[in-house]
């Protein structure tokens, strides 16, 4: 039996476990990336491990999320990360150099290699044939130290593309179509492998739009073959030497095959407040809009930007619309400027923003109250834009421009002919904004700069054998990490200050939660299905930990968040019978006994001492996870397992 692409990379990086779906496997990690909103924690954690230098082939620290600098906090974080990077052997991508995923794709990603990043959209590099995972900062810290990355061996789904996209129908519409088919839960426990003759016509940045939004499916990761398109992209980046071909064996076996006919696809749009709330653009056409944002790690490549500029050329956006354009990288921006395409964007009335995440994570450009914002981004969760009652829609760059011009949601096919986009033979390579680390000889002389915003992370709390605590919060299905620990311009600068962040925990759902949790001392959260979907931010575990949350009981968990809970020493438990969810209310007192033995058995009973009922909960952890929970999380566990701390 042959291998799929993902299986081939897993096989060549396997350092523990066997490749049977559902079993825990350990992978050797070639590259890591961090961004600044999660990076401070990751380097604090790396420091705690006491390893002097990273042991990966390549590690890069990007600054792209917190670039507003409204106070000293961002600047302090940047200095901390820059100094830690210099000391520990990590390359430092300066603010303004671009969004981590776009820059990593351009400059570092290579087919056949493994990458983990402290950002859920790290699978973007699957577009270049890399096996790339989003992970919590602690997992990234461990990988930087040479430790393995543990995942459950996923099922492998194949999405087979046939035909060719029509003008004004784009890879973003392919992403929205697969979200329509599978939903935000549908990729859970699976790697999505893209194949079929339809992939041949997609360039690497177009493929990266699709692997990027695999995160919204809850997939472990997504990957494309490495072929002529990959070779061409790498050659244009001056990196043809990184090319290796990669394809699935003809007799590879997939757990599920989904077919999409590109010829039949039309422009799609995800309506508020979920990326899988997808309909055809034409069905909501005519709805007035107030804002359009183009950019984010999903749609900010040179090709996307050239399409936007050529559609805007000679036209002016509607007076009722405020439009922003954020190129994904300095390379993209400088090529737009040199080619004159930037002038067409500016002449249309659009505003140019920095090469950074910006509005995608609510760092500026929040919509007006009750406003309608069309974004080429990947997430439209409630409140994420910074305006709680705004309606955010996710669209392709083409639909974004068509709507910006008319002031109402518009099917881009009404724009007439799609102008021909000529991509240059080679990209303008200039890595001067990527600072090299100190040599290992000089590293000892580098001091780490620690400003007052950088607070220690919360003390770990081992899972005890008996636990009695009240339910401090009960929430529904698909709770996102943006609900648990919101971001945005007012909060994001405090990512290295857990006590301050704790004031905003769950503020989107229930502003009284932090006070209630604190008053209870220890407590338990009850959630629905797909609890913790979205971001990789470990703050969504560390902040509840700080507020005394000791367990989360849910119908199911999103992969990265479940790992972050375990890494932080909070026990994630799943209802054996999902109907029991309805029987627990906020304020109920729950009592566990024999948790340790239950964790070995794989299930434990919890008594609801308020109602007198008892429910069975699943806690099917591996031995490693059990040990981690019992010693209070990954850092404590790693400290006791790293044999050699010398570089
Ligand atoms: C996001 O898109 O939600 C973020 C902000 O990039 C997060 C990381 C974070 O919260 O810092 C992610 O996707 O992991
Ligand atoms: Fe940045 Fe948005 Fe991409 Fe997250 S999804 S990395 S906030 S651009």
Same-domain status, 400 and 503? no
What separation, in Å, do the N-terminal and C-terminal C-alpha atoms of the chain show?
Answer: 41
Q: How far is the CA of 360 from the centre of ligand 2 (A)?
A: 6
Q: Which atom of ligand 1 is nearest to the CA of 361?
A: 5
Q: How far is the CA of 297 from the centre of ligand 2 (A)?
A: 6
Same-domain status, 490 and 592? yes
Mean pLDDT, the chain, whole residue set: 96
Nearest-angstrom CA–CA distance, 19 and 12: 11
The band of 1, judged by pLDDT with boundaries at 50, 70 and 90, is confident
* Both tokens assigned to 199: 């992939």
Q: State the average pLDDT over residues 182-207.
A: 98
Q: State the average pLDDT over residues 206-214.
A: 98
Nearest CA to ligand 1 atom 6: 119
Q: State the average pLDDT over residues 438-455.
A: 95
* Element spanning 373, H or E: strand 372-375
Q: How far is the CA of 144 from the centre of ligand 1 (A)?
A: 20
Answer whether 394 contacts ligand 2 (Cβ < 6 A). Answer: no
Whether residue 534 is contained in a domain is answered as: yes
The band of 398, judged by pLDDT with boundaries at 50, 70 and 90, is very high
Contact 136, 564 (CB under 8 A): yes
Which residue among 380, 415, 450 closes a domain? 415
Quick one: pLDDT at residue 157?
98
Which residue from 431, 435, 395 is spatially nearest to 271, judged by alpha carbons? 395
Nearest CA to ligand 1 atom 11: 37
Contact 501, 543 (CB under 8 A): yes
Whether residue 578 is contained in a domain is answered as: yes
Same-domain status, 401 and 526? no
Whether the per-residue pLDDT at 458 is higher than 90: the answer is no
Quick one: pLDDT at residue 646?
47
Same-domain status, 544 and 614? yes
Same-domain status, 524 and 376? no
Same-domain status, 308 and 388? yes
Q: In angstroms, what CA-CA distances link 458 with 91, 448, 501, 556, 568?
A: 28, 21, 12, 26, 9
Same-domain status, 377 and 517? no
Q: Which atom of ligand 2 is nearest to the CA of 64?
A: 1
Residue 490 CB: number of other CB atoms within 10 A? 12
Q: How far is the CA of 613 from the centre of ligand 2 (A)?
A: 43
Nearest 5°: the CA angle 87, 91, 97 is 135
Strands 571-575 and 549-554 come out as parallel
Q: How far is the CA of 166 from the centre of ligand 2 (A)?
A: 28
The band of 647, judged by pLDDT with boundaries at 50, 70 and 90, is very low
Ligand 1: residue of 536, 541, 560 to mutate (most ligand atoms within 8 A of CB) is 536
Nearest ligand for residue 359 CA: 2
Instruction: Determine phi and psi for 424, rounding to 5 degrees.
Output: -65, 155
* Element spanning 368, H or E: none
Same-domain status, 390 and 471? no
Dump pLDDT digits (tens) for 469-527: 999 999 999 999 999 999 999 999 999 999 999 999 999 899 999 999 999 999 999 99
Answer whether 121 contacts ligand 2 (Cβ < 6 A). Answer: yes
Which residue among 391, 415, 439 closes a domain? 415
Nearest CA to ligand 1 atom 1: 535
Nearest CA to ligand 1 atom 2: 535
Answer whether 297 contacts ligand 2 (Cβ < 6 A). Answer: yes
Whether the per-residue pLDDT at 645 is higher than 90: the answer is no
Whether the per-residue pLDDT at 538 is higher than 50: the answer is yes
Same-domain status, 479 and 597? yes
Quick one: pLDDT at residue 483?
96
Contact 546, 498 (CB under 8 A): yes
Nearest CA to ligand 2 atom 1: 357
Dump pLDDT digits (tens) for 239-260: 999 999 999 999 999 999 999 9
Please give the residue range of the domain that contains residue 335: 268-415
Same-domain status, 392 and 471? no
Whether residue 202 is contained in a domain is answered as: no
Nearest-angstrom CA–CA distance, 517 and 471: 9
Answer whether 296 contacts ligand 2 (Cβ < 6 A). Answer: yes
Nearest CA to ligand 2 atom 2: 360
Nearest ligand for residue 558 CA: 1
Q: What is the per-residue burial (b if ≥16 Cβ within 10 Å, else e) of 41-59?
A: bbbbbbebbebebbebebb
Q: State the average pLDDT over residues 217-237.
A: 98
Nearest-angstrom CA–CA distance, 65 and 78: 11
Whether the per-residue pLDDT at 431 is higher than 50: the answer is yes
Number of domains making up the chain: 2
Nearest ligand for residue 543 CA: 1
Nearest 5°: the CA angle 497, 498, 499 is 95
Q: How far is the CA of 145 from the centre of ligand 2 (A)?
A: 26
Same-domain status, 564 and 628? yes
Contact 592, 606 (CB under 8 A): yes
Contact 63, 435 (CB under 8 A): no
Same-domain status, 407 and 471? no
Lining residues, ligand 1, CB within 6 Å: 37-38, 65, 119-121, 134, 361, 487, 534-537
Q: How far is the CA of 64 from the centre of ligand 2 (A)?
A: 9
SS3 category, 101: helix
The band of 642, judged by pLDDT with boundaries at 50, 70 and 90, is low
- The percent of residues in the chain predicted with pLDDT above 70, rounded, is 99
Whether residue 487 is contained in a domain is answered as: yes
Quick one: pLDDT at residue 412?
98
Nearest ligand for residue 357 CA: 2
Ligand 1: residue of 65, 137, 216 to mutate (most ligand atoms within 8 A of CB) is 65
Quick one: pLDDT at residue 474?
98
Instruction: Determine phi and psi for 137, rounding to 5 degrees.
Output: -55, -35
Which residue from 287, 236, 289 is spatially nearest to 107, judged by alpha carbons? 236
Q: State the average pLDDT over residues 559-568.
A: 98
Quick one: pLDDT at residue 459?
83
Quick one: pLDDT at residue 640?
76
Nearest-angstrom CA–CA distance, 238 and 117: 24
Whether residue 321 is contained in a domain is answered as: yes
Whether residue 526 is contained in a domain is answered as: yes
Dump pLDDT digits (tens) for 261-298: 999 999 999 999 999 999 999 999 999 999 999 999 99
The band of 456, judged by pLDDT with boundaries at 50, 70 and 90, is confident
* Both tokens assigned to 433: 């904004």
DSSP structure string for 173-221: HHHHHHHHHH-TTTTBTEEEEEESGGGTT--HHHHHHHHHGGGGGTBSE
Whether residue 193 is contained in a domain is answered as: no
Dump pLDDT digits (tens) for 72-105: 999 999 999 999 999 999 999 999 999 999 999 9
Q: How far is the CA of 156 from the centre of ligand 2 (A)?
A: 26
* Both tokens assigned to 508: 């989107």
- The percent of residues in the chain predicted with pLDDT above 90, rounded, is 95
* Both tokens assigned to 338: 């040199």
Nearest-angstrom CA–CA distance, 205 and 173: 14
Quick one: pLDDT at residue 641?
76
Q: How far is the CA of 571 from the centre of ligand 1 (A)?
A: 23
Nearest ligand for residue 41 CA: 1
Nearest-angstrom CA–CA distance, 16 and 293: 44
CATH code where residue 374 lies: 3.30.499.10
Dump pLDDT digits (tens) for 41-76: 999 999 988 999 999 999 999 999 999 899 999 999
* Element spanning 512, H or E: none
**Sign of torsion over alpha carbons 448, 450, 454, 456:** positive
Nearest-angstrom CA–CA distance, 68 and 38: 16
Whether the per-residue pLDDT at 643 is higher than 80: the answer is no
Dump pLDDT digits (tens) for 7-36: 999 999 999 999 999 999 999 999 999 999
Nearest CA to ligand 1 atom 9: 537
Contact 323, 294 (CB under 8 A): yes
Nearest ligand for residue 124 CA: 2
Q: State the average pLDDT over residues 325-342.
A: 98
Q: Which atom of ligand 1 is nearest to the CA of 121?
A: 13
Q: State the average pLDDT over residues 123-149.
A: 98
CATH code where residue 603 lies: 3.20.19.10
Whether residue 171 is contained in a domain is answered as: no
Quick one: pLDDT at residue 244?
98
Nearest ligand for residue 487 CA: 1
Q: How far is the CA of 378 from the centre of ligand 2 (A)?
A: 8
């Amino acid at each position: 039996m042959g291998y799929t692409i993902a299986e081939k990379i897993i096989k060549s990086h396997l350092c523990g476990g066997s490749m049977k779906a559902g079993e825990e496997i350990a992978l050797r990690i070639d590259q890591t990336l961090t961004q600044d909103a999660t990076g401070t924690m990751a380097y604090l954690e790396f420091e705690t491990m006491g390893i002097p230098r990273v042991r990966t082939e390549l590690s890069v620290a990007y600054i792209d999320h917190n670039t507003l600098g409204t106070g000293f906090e961002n600047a302090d974080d940047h200095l901390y990360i820059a100094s830690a990077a210099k000391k520990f052997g990590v390359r430092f991508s300066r603010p303004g150099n671009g969004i981590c995923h776009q820059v990593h794709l351009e400059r570092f990603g290579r087919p056949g290699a493994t990458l983990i990043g402290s950002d859920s959209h790290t699978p973007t590099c699957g577009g270049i044939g890399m096996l790339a995972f989003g992970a919590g900062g602690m997992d990234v810290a461990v990988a930087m130290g040479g430790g393995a990355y543990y995942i459950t061996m996923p099922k492998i789904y194949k999405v087979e593309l046939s035909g060719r996209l029509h003008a004004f129908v784009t890879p973003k519409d392919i992403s929205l179509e697969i979200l329509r088919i599978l939903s935000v839960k549908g990729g859970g426990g699976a790697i999505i492998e893209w194949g079929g003759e339809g992939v041949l016509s997609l360039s690497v940045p177009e493929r990266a739009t699709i692997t990027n939004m695999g995160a919204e499916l809850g997939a472990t990761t997504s990957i494309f073959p490495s072929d002529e398109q990959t070779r061409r992209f790498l050659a244009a980046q001056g990196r043809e030497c990184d090319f290796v071909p990669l394809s699935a064996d003809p007799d590879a076996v997939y757990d599920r095959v989904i077919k999409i006919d590109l010829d039949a696809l039309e422009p799609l749009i995800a309506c508020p407040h979920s990326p899988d709330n997808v309909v055809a653009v034409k069905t909501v056409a005519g709805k007035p809009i107030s804002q359009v944002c183009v950019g984010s790690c999903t749609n900010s490549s040179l090709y996307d930007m050239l399409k936007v500029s050529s559609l805007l050329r000679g036209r002016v956006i509607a007076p009722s619309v405020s439009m922003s354009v954020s190129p994904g990288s300095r390379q993209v921006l400088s090529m737009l400027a040199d080619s004159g395409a930037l002038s067409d964007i500016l002449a249309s009335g659009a505003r140019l923003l920095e090469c950074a995440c910006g509005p995608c994570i609510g760092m500026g450009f929040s919509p007006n109250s009750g406003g309608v914002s069309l974004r080429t981004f990947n997430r439209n969760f409630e409140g994420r834009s910074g305006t709680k009652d705004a309606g955010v829609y996710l669209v392709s760059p083409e639909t974004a421009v068509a709507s910006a011009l008319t002031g109402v949601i518009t099917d881009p096919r009404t724009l007439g002919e799609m102008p021909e986009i000529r991509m240059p033979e080679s990209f303008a390579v200039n890595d001067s904004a990527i600072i090299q680390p100190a040599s290992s000889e000089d590293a000892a002389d580098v001091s780490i700069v620690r400003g007052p915003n950088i607070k220690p992370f919360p003390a770990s709390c081992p899972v005890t054998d008996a636990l009695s605590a009240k339910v401090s919060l009960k929430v529904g299905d698909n709770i996102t990490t943006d609900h648990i620990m919101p971001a945005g311009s007012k909060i994001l600068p405090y990512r290295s200050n857990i006590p301050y962040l704790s004031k905003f925990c769950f503020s989107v759902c229930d502003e009284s939660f932090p006070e209630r949790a604190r008053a209870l001392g220890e407590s338990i959260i009850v959630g629905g299905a797909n609890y913790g979907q979205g971001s990789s931010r470990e703050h969504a575990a560390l902040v509840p930990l700080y507020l005394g949350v000791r367990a989360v009981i849910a119908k199911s968990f999103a992969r990265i968040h479940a790992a972050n809970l375990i890494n932080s020493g909070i026990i994630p438990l799943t209802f054996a019978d999902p109907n029991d969810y309805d029987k627990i209310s906020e304020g109920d007192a729950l009592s566990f006994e024999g948790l340790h033995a239950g964790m070995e058995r794989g299930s434990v009973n919890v008594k609801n001492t308020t109602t007198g009922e008892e429910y069975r909960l699943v806690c099917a952890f591996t031995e490693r996870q059990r040990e981690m929970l019992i010693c209070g999380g990954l850092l404590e566990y790693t400290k006791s397992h790293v044999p050699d701390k010398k570089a």
